[in-house]
Structures are given as structure tokens and as C-alpha cells.
Amino acid sequence: MVSRGCGDDGVVESCKEPKRVVNAVNKNLGDKPFSQACANNREPIYDVLAKEFAGQTSVLEIGSGTGQHAVHIGPRLPHVQWQTSDLAENIPGINRWINDERVVNVLRPLTINVLKDWPDTELLQYFNGIFSANTSHIMPWEAVEHFIGGLEKMNSGSRLALYGPFKYDGRFTSDSNERFDQWLKNQYPHQGIRDFESVDSLARNSGFNLVKDYAMPANNQLLVWEK
């Protein structure tokens, strides 16, 4: 059954554990982790970030996953230095994508678990942009609180961009998002599609105001805040 992964149309298993594709379709993949959802949504995300990160120079990505967003979007925003990060287990895969794409403005991943290594005030002072895709419904809510709460340490002029599915007034934006939410909860009870209002409230408490809420393909949103 084709279901939804990472909040996008695609196979569900790609959400939790990206497949290692061994030269199945594309010779260039080698043994890199691969997310079809990322391949589908990277260009629409780039289109928005080209506008919304036009004034940013140093972006920290939380939960880079396979690294496919970073190596696609980073070089297309040459005015930005794009810092990847994720939990320790995803670092080798991100490095493989960086090695193969030979990108110059995408930095090798930092190990960042927002429940443990966060907020790193010194690190955050260096960035004026934060990007994170498909993480808020995967992390426990406590981690989302800690992640966005830590952004209080950022300087004014900073921007936060979050991509993924969200609920509004407690309602899903589509039936497929509702099914995806149930699937997430069946996998791990701490997972689930978050309420936009709760996430916006965390952002506001950290000094960020919503700039724009973009409706994206496959019933996702790209939310952009500025401090």
C-alpha cells in the first residue's frame, strides 16, 4: 500500500528509516540513505526559502535526516552558509551526500539532539536562520518545546522555517494527514501531527512572529517566523 511518509505522499517506511538504495535505479545513489519524500519536496521548499531566506547568511538545519535537503537547497542559496545537524546515527549518511555532491557552502553535520545539546547559546549566536523539515511530528512534544524554546537565544532579525504537516484549530488539513497521524501514533505514542497554534505560541515565547504560512504540496505547510 502506498501511504504517506514524512508528511508527504510516499512510502511510510521512508519516514522513520530512510532506505539505503544500492544502485537500484540511479547509479549515483551508491549506498547513501535516500528519502523519496525529500526528493519530491526539496524544490517547492527551495522556492519558498529563496524568498524567505533572502536576507539570511547562516542557517542551522535541525534534523537534516539523509542530508538531501541540505545538498539541494544549500548550493542554490549561495549567500547562505548551511550547517547540517542530526542525531549521531544520521551523521554518516549526511556526510556521504556532502562528499558526493561536492558542495562548498554546506557544512558537515554537527551532532545535535535538541533534548540534550540544546540550546547552545554560543552556537546559536552564529546563526540567523533555522530550518527544520518533518521533525515536529517525529520528536516528542517535549523536544519540540525545548527546540523552539531554545531559539530565545537568537538575535533579532533571525528567521525560523518549519516544514511539515500541522493541524489548525485541532483539525487536520486532509483525511490523509489524519491517517498519517494515526500511523505515527501507532509506531510511537509520542509522535503526532502538532497544532499550529501550539507551535506558534512556542515561537512567540522565543520572540518570533509569524511572517507567512505557505500551503505546500501533499498537505504540508512551510511556516516562517522572524524575530
Q: Which residues are at the interface with ligand SAM (CB under 6 A)?
A: 6, 15, 35, 37-38, 62-65, 69, 86-87, 90, 112-115, 133-135, 138-139, 143
Q: What Rg do the C-alpha atoms of the chain give, in angstroms?
A: 16
Q: Report the phi/psi class of residue 92: left, alpha or beta, with left for phi > 0 and alpha for psi in -120 to 50.
A: alpha
Task: Give me the residue whose beta carbon is nearest to ligand SAM.
Answer: 65
Nearer to ligand SAM, 69 or 159 (CB): 69
Burial class (CB in 10 A: 0-12, 13-18, 19+), 88: exposed
Smallest distance, ligand SAM to C-beta of residue 143, A? 4
Give the amino acid at 64: S
Nearer to ligand SAM, 106 or 209 (CB): 106
Nearer to ligand SAM, 31 or 209 (CB): 31
Nearer to ligand SAM, 65 or 74 (CB): 65
Smallest distance, ligand SAM to C-beta of residue 155, A? 22
Distance between CA 30 and CA 47 in Å, rounded? 28
Smallest distance, ligand SAM to C-beta of residue 63, A? 3
The residues, any chain, with a CB within 8 Å of residue 107's CB and separated by 6 or more, are 81, 82, 83, 84
The C-alpha cell 519558498 sits at 48
Smallest distance, ligand SAM to C-beta of residue 200, A? 20
Nearer to ligand SAM, 169 or 180 (CB): 180
Smallest distance, ligand SAM to C-beta of residue 211, A? 21
Show the cell assigned to 60: 542551522
Pinpoint the alpha helices (H) of 22-140: 36-52, 68-73, 91-101, 121-126
